[in-house]
Amino acid sequence: MSALHSSVVPFSTTTVDASETALINCLLDLTLNPYPTAKALGFVSSLHCSQRKEFLRLANMHHVVIRALEPVCKAAAANGDVEVLKWANDAIAQEKARVANALAYLHQVCTELEAADIPITVMKSLDHYPDLGSDLDLYTTATSTRVVAVMKEKFNATEMDRSWGDRIAQKWNFSIPGLPEAIEIHVQRLGQMGEHRALARRFNSRRVTKSVEGKEFFVPAPEERIIVATLQRMYRHFYFRVCDVVNSTAIVDSGVLDVVELKRATEHSGIWAGTASYLNVVSDLAKRHRGHGLRLPALVTQSSVCGGDQIYVKNSFLRVPILSCGANLYSGQITKASFNGDVAGTFRLGLLPYLAAAAAVSYKLTGSDKGIW
């Protein structure tokens, strides 16, 4: 855990610390700073071939390939480092081609669904731009029957196998010919167990437009962008990607986030503590890698149960401690749902320990929890 807290180690011509921790620290340095340090840029140029492959693998997993490599390109060009410049430019060109293809399909899908009176909001995916995630996330208040019918009729889409968790959360994944990324559509509910219905409706009722490469999309308002990131990181996966830190830092720095409205929405749903913790973690990581954190009011910092000092690198991600943080947040969420008289939400949340146990058993027996989550 302590390795994460140190700066990227100095490199030399003979030995480079290319551990996951060092590489992820470098990705944070490159993407959080408008002018990355010479140390971070030099670190990348000192990597040998296999280490660069690992760097790209992690950059892809963390959805920051373009944002991390653009400053590397500039530095390599200025230093006359032809080899690094070609490597970085090739990776960027390949990623830009993937993003352009995905955006074209995404726009068509959104257009056809809207034309069929199926309101669609693009969640998370466009926050990463100019990068893009590994799938395309959408939310709608329409019924699954209508969504499935339009996807099959207009795009010859194939329904992908749904896990137990997908069914409980009311998520459908579609494969479309010509699109490598899956289209994931959340229908009427959000949350690990689909426990959020009223909160989910805000994603359509408060949506705004965003123009990306000349195409118009409906996306969540800033508060909902933080909410969906919180649900994914603090209540589902318990790990952060570099893009989460970069995206949310940009939202807060822009001044568009209404923290009072964010608290009002999440407090009623029992996830304010998780939201405050999410922002606190982002602020701590931003401070560590760019020198200053986020301007967060006391109502955020005082409600947080987790900070950046508890985050550690393991298995390619920035991990959130489940026992000390995740269990605390889950307990608060299910208590609030019960107090609010949300019978359906309480029941769904009550299923989580059983699903988690099934996933643990499956992983122990087969090495995979596929089909569970």
What pLDDT was estimated at residue 12?
39
pLDDT value at residue 309: 95
Domain for residue 56, yes or no?
Answer: yes
Tell me the residue type at 172.
W
Q: What is the bridge-based pairing of β-strands 171-176 and 179-187?
A: antiparallel
Q: Which residue has the tokens 């982002």?
A: 282
**Do 209 and 348 have their domain in common?**
yes
Same domain for 72 and 1?
A: yes
Looking at residue 362, what is its pLDDT? Answer: 63
Type of residue found at 205:
S
Report the CATH number at residue 249: 3.30.460.40
92 within a domain of the structure (yes/no): no
Residue-number span of the structural domain to which 173 is assigned:
98-366
Question: Would you state the pLDDT for residue 361?
Answer: 62
3-state secondary structure (DSSP) of residue 140 = strand
Residue by residue, DSSP assigns 207-255 as -EEEEETTEEEEE--HHHHHHHHHHHIIIII-EE-HHHHHHHHHHHHHT
Separation of alpha carbons 76 and 59, rounded Å: 18
Angle at alpha carbon of residue 141, lines to 163 and 123, rounded to 5°: 70
Residue 308 sits in the same domain as residue 358: yes
Provide the residue-wise pLDDT of the chain in tens; the chain has 373 residues.
334 433 333 333 446 789 999 999 999 999 999 888 899 999 999 999 999 999 999 999 999 999 999 999 999 999 999 999 999 999 999 999 999 999 999 999 999 999 999 999 999 999 999 999 999 999 999 999 999 999 999 999 999 999 999 999 999 999 999 999 999 999 999 999 999 999 999 999 999 999 999 999 999 999 999 999 999 999 999 999 999 999 999 999 999 999 999 999 999 999 999 999 999 999 999 999 999 999 999 999 999 999 999 999 999 999 999 988 999 999 999 998 888 899 898 889 888 887 777 766 665 656 665 656 6
The answer on 302 and 226 residing in a single domain is: yes
Which residue's entry shows tokens 């000092």?
Answer: 309
Give yes or no for a cis peptide into 71 (omega within 30° of 0). Answer: no
CA dihedral 282, 288, 291, 294 (to 10 degrees): 20
Give pLDDT, residue 131.
98
Q: What is the DSSP string of 2-48?
A: HHHHSPPPPP-SS-----HHHHHHHHHHHHH-SS--HHHHHHHHT--
**Are residues 114 and 192 both part of a single domain?**
yes
15 and 104 assigned to the same domain: no
Q: Which helix (H) or strand (E) holds 181?
A: strand 179-187
Of 52, 80, 108, which residue is a domain's last? 80
Q: Which of 80, 110, 138 is the last residue of a domain?
A: 80
**Domains: count for the chain:** 2
β-bridge partners, 156: none
Are 120 and 139 in contact, with CB atoms under 8 Å apart?
yes
In three-state secondary structure terms, 296 is coil
Residue 87 resides in a domain: no
Residue 207 near residue 198, CB atoms below 8 Å? no
Question: Within 10 A of 81 (CB to CB), how many other CB atoms are there?
Answer: 17
Give the pLDDT score at 323.
87
Residue 116 backbone dihedrals phi, psi, to 5 degrees: -90, 15
Q: How far is CA 99 from each of CA 5, 128, 179, 273, 299, rounded to the nearest angstrom?
A: 33, 10, 11, 34, 38
Q: What is the pLDDT of residue 186?
A: 98
Q: Do residues 114 and 56 both lie within one domain?
A: no
- Answer yes or no: is 304 within a domain: yes
The residues, ordered by sequence, that sit 6+ positions from 98 with a Cβ below 8 Å of its Cβ are: 132, 180
Long-range contacts, stretch 329-337, CB < 8 angstroms, 24+ apart: 329/234, 329/235, 329/271, 329/273, 329/274, 329/277, 329/305, 330/235, 332/270, 332/273, 332/274, 333/195, 333/235, 333/269, 333/270, 333/271, 333/274, 334/270, 335/270, 336/268, 336/269, 336/270, 337/195, 337/270
pLDDT at 271: 97
CA distances from 132 to 12, 103, 227 (A): 33, 9, 19
